[in-house]
Amino acid sequence: MKLKSMCFEVKNLHRRLLKQHSVRLGILTFLLCFPLILPPPVAGEEKAIRIAITPCTDIMKTFKIFQPLARYLQDKINRPVQLIIPKSFHEFETFVKSNKVDFAYQAPHTYVRLANFYNKEALLKSLTPEGETKHRGVMIVRKDSPIKTLTDLKGKVVLFGSELSTAKSIATKILLKENGVDIDRDLKNYTHDGSCESIALNVYLKSVDAGAICDYSFEEINEAEDQAVAGIPADQFRILSETMEVPTWVFSALKRMDSAVVTKVLNALQELDREKEQFEHILEEAEIGGFVPAKDSDYKTIRELAGVSHL
């Protein structure tokens, strides 16, 4: 009887601990899933620099991977830096148009839609982990899939990246259209997800027939040597086709920003060198290879694809 009583108490304690952990996790999730609003600064404290980032993956992961970059900037410019992770493009657009943020980091087609609100003389483009300023989307299937061509996707289920993604959504849909596949008429179903790892995992688990990811992510996921990425063993996928080259993401300053502050921020970002060990963690977490100067004219092709006139 005593043993049964002890077991009962242990089980109750376990349930209480699980419940407390669940409550704490719920609070943390709530805090991370909404744009962070700083309290009013105390007297003498400089106002935080607010950087809006369009979430290419879920909000919590986006917040996490860019935290090292935010801390680096804060130390370099000696001023608080706040990340703003909007829940949608509409919210991102609202923040930019209403001057609720100071800088923005976004996909190219998001930039061209909002370019009139930015200082076009103060633009940076990110580098891929390999140091390139352009990349491609790739349509992948399992290595053992009977699907051999894009045309074979008719009647199948496809997973694209975020609707805000140039490579994993817009360019990939154009690729399908050019190959005679109408996503609304010909596919059995399609939907959107965030990260390349999540999309690849869905393909691996056969939840979908094919998925669109970034070319450099394909190399990382499919050619992993030391360990599986996102729980996926290496060498599990094939590339059906790849999109045209598209520019990498754009870091921009809003027009109203003080030029001295803009210069400090842009210089700090350009100092991030993927060849230097002290920057390795910052860049790897953000899945980028650094930043270089950009021009508004670099996005002429994106304007044409998106049907956006020059602003």
212 found inside a domain:
yes
Q: Which of 225, 246, 267 is the last residue of a domain?
A: 246
Amino acid symbol at 228: A
Same domain membership, residue 259 and residue 270: yes
In the numeric block, which tokens belong to residue 209?
Answer: 């027939």
Position 165 scores a pLDDT of 85
Instruction: Please state the pTM of the whole predicted model.
Output: 0.76
Residue 54 in domain: yes
Residues 211 and 282 occupy one common structural domain: no
Residues of the chain with pLDDT below 70 are 1-45, 57, 224-230, 306-311
Domain endpoint, select from 230, 246, 262? 246
Residues 217 and 197: their CA atoms lie apart, in Å, by 8
pLDDT of residue 16: 45
Of the three residues 226, 246, 266, the one that is the final residue of a domain is 246
User: What per-residue confidence (pLDDT) applies to 81?
Assistant: 97
- Classify residue 37: in a domain, yes or no: no
pLDDT at 229: 62
Residue type, 50: R
pLDDT given for residue 89 in this prediction: 83
- Under 8 Å between Cβ of 254 and 96: yes
Q: Which domain holds residue 208?
A: 134-246
CATH code of the domain in which 122 resides: 3.40.190.10
Same domain, 293 and 210: no
State whether 113 and 165 are in the same domain: no
Task: Retrieve residue 244's tokens.
Answer: 């045209």
Per-residue confidence (pLDDT) for residue 230, from 0 to 100: 64
| Counted domains in the chain | 2
Q: Are 73 and 118 members of one domain?
A: yes
